[in-house]
Amino acid sequence: MDFPELLVILAVAFVFLGPERMMEVATKLGEFLRKVRETWDELRYQLYMESINRKIAEESKNTNIQEDYGEEYVQEVEMQEVEKGHGEPGTSQNAADGASEGAKKQTD
């Protein structure tokens, strides 16, 4: 909304409401906008805290797994995921002798 449009709206409101009533409306509008802003800020803060709590819970879960089973177990699980194809591309072992595809091509 441009400044001239705002002036026209204020002039029309002044004519219909009068100076006393216009001050009341402006005060109530200001209070309403403040409440909306506070509610919005509270919602954003709650969403931010939930995301932090979710990250902390994930890190705590990973730490508990490492403490319960040890670092070797976690590495073994990660290696199994790589072998299943969930890891980096190019790490599959399709050769009969267990060599990777790249090693087999080099020996051919």
Residues 6+ away with beta carbon under 8 Å from 22:
13, 14
Q: What is the DSSP letter of 75?
A: H
Q: What is the pLDDT of residues 44-81, one digit of tens each?
A: 999 999 999 999 888 887 777 666 666 666 677 777 77
Give first-to-last CA distance, the chain, whole Å: 73
In this prediction the pTM is 0.45
pLDDT value of residue 107: 54
